[in-house]
Amino acid sequence: MLPAIVIASLMIVFWLLSVRMRDAGVIDSAWGLGFVLVAWVEWARGAWGHTGFGCNVLIPAFVSIWGLRLSAHLFARNFGKQEDFRYRQMREKWGKRFWWTSLFTVFGLQGIVMWIVSLPLQMISTTVTISDLENGNALWSTPLFIVGSIVWTVGMFFESVGDWQLTQFKSRPENKGHVLQHGLWRYTRHPNYFGDSMVWWGLFLMAMAWHAAWWVIVSPVLMSFLLIRVSGVTLLERSLVQGKTGYRDYVCRTSAFFPWPPKTGKD
């Protein structure tokens, strides 16, 4: 219940801000921040209940590194720019009703998704008892937690470096209308989306090391599905194919999601 209240409160605050600014795109900056809040609220609840608070701090720390970087990046990217085309289309569709329908169609919907994806974080306060620590069960050193940390690190690398490379590319006027095809973008058309997916698979594995229920796998599965089939790759490439010079050739050579050496020559 508490994570739902935290997420709902955050979404209402950012919805009010969006009404004031006439820009529903502010939701992007709330995305990473929301997970950070959920992670630390759950950690605090576990600490208050004396539930393995010493080791559990590692998961909210990982979430904070990811979430704060993402929110800062999206804020810097969107600041001073016009509203994202997705929300402009919705604004045109709903007209004068958009200011209140956006509370449900934009902020409410993303709040629900955030709650589902944050399920591994919600386990922080309910798993690992103080007896685990007293018995010397250093769960942070278990193979599962180590694997999860490695997967998270790979994801963080691809997402942060991919975002940085794209920002640098777009900052040069001569690149306008062209496609970034070097760096990580040589091996996957969406290194940032791939990285985001790996971050959540890593957090899921870390939560499992903390005895989380197996069904929280819905978190990385949902995130990966959204990134590949809904709001990520599929939605973005509909516009890129039409607006970027050479993008069709880039698609033929380069993996859509998972990093892979580009195709060479003719098939």
Enumerate residues 6+ apart whose C-beta is below 8 A from 89: none
What pLDDT was estimated at residue 61? 92
Residues of the chain with pLDDT under 50: 51-52, 130-131, 133-136, 266-267
* C-alpha distances out from residue 70 to 110, 160, 165, Å: 16, 8, 14
The SS3 assignment for 210 reads: coil
Enumerate residues 6+ apart whose C-beta is below 8 A from 222: 113, 116, 117
pTM: 0.88
The model's pLDDT over 163-211, given as tens digits with 9 standing for 90+, comes to 999 999 999 998 888 889 999 999 999 999 999 999 999 999 998 887 7
Ordered by start, the domain boundaries in the chain are 1-136, 138-267
